[in-house]
Amino acid sequence: MKSIFEPPDQHQVAQYAENLLRRANLVRRDGWQEYRHIWSCGEVIGTALILGDDAELHHCGETPISALERWAFNLWGLTGGQSDVDAGLRRTRAWFDSIRAAR
């Protein structure tokens, strides 16, 4: 069993990216109303980050920075997430930038 301090494996991180891209496409097609109450908070804010939708982040009580901080821990585990937060979220920003570039 993996420790919460360890990051998810690369397959899981790739699945996060695929999942967020799929959700972003759904929101582009249908809008937020159908999804914001059935997806988890993390799914909503991750999708909003992909879409650059600061209004939806605000609707969730988040800022772009707080949303990136949450995702840093999902992507890199507790230790790696904290290191990325301390470094200005460079790794997490780059991950989201790469997903945006892939869409």
Nearby residues of 59 by Cβ (< 8 Å), 6 or more positions away? 32, 36
The pLDDT assigned to 4 comes to 66
Q: Where are the domains of the chain?
A: 10-102
- pLDDT tens, the chain, 103 aa long: 566 667 788 999 999 999 999 999 999 999 999 999 999 999 999 999 999 999 999 999 999 999 999 999 999 999 999 999 999 999 999 999 999 998 6
Query: Could you tell me the sign of the dihedral formed by the alpha carbons of 7, 13, 34, 100, in that order?
Result: positive
The pTM (predicted TM-score) of the whole model is 0.91
Closest CA to 5 of 81, 100, 78, 98: 78
The pLDDT assigned to 44 comes to 98
The pLDDT assigned to 102 comes to 83
